Amino acid sequence: MKIIWTRHAAERQREWFRKLGITKQEVEDILKNPGQIVPGDLEAKVAQAKSRDGLIRIPFIKTEEGYKILTVYWTSKVDKYWKGVLDEG
């Protein structure tokens, strides 16, 4: 699977790296093997995984070239975004 980073997503990842140490590799690993994928805005989906007592959320769209990351962010609002039972394992 090819991963395409938008300029915005790369900038946001760098900001989250400074704040919480979220690496580009970690983001790509979550996109490849998410805890879950939930619907996002418009045509986007959101890959997300539990991390650092919250969630790393990665809104993306599937294109002919691969998966295009729209942005990256961390949130403490696990109950708001996680669908169903949160798997601790």
Q: Is the pLDDT of residue 72 over 50?
A: yes
Which residues sit opposite 68 in a β-bridge?
4, 61
**CB contact set of 75 (below 8 Å; sequence gap of 6+):** 54, 55, 57, 81
Structure tokens at 63: 């294109």
User: What mean pLDDT, rounded, does the chain reach?
Assistant: 94
Q: What is the pLDDT of residue 84?
A: 78
Q: Residue 87 above 60 pLDDT?
A: no
Checking if the pLDDT of 70 tops 60, the result is yes
Instruction: Using CA atoms of 68, 50, 81, 48 in order, give the dihedral in degrees to the nearest 10.
Output: 10
Do the beta carbons of residue 58 and residue 72 sit within 8 Å? yes
Q: Report the pLDDT value the prediction gives residue 85, as an integer from 0 to 100.
A: 58
Cα-only R_g, the chain: 12
Q: What is the pLDDT of residues 60-69, one digit of tens each?
A: 999 999 999 9
For residue 61, give Cα distances in angstroms to 15, 33, 43, 77.
22, 15, 7, 23
Q: pTM of the predicted model, to two decimals?
A: 0.90
pLDDT of res. 1:
83
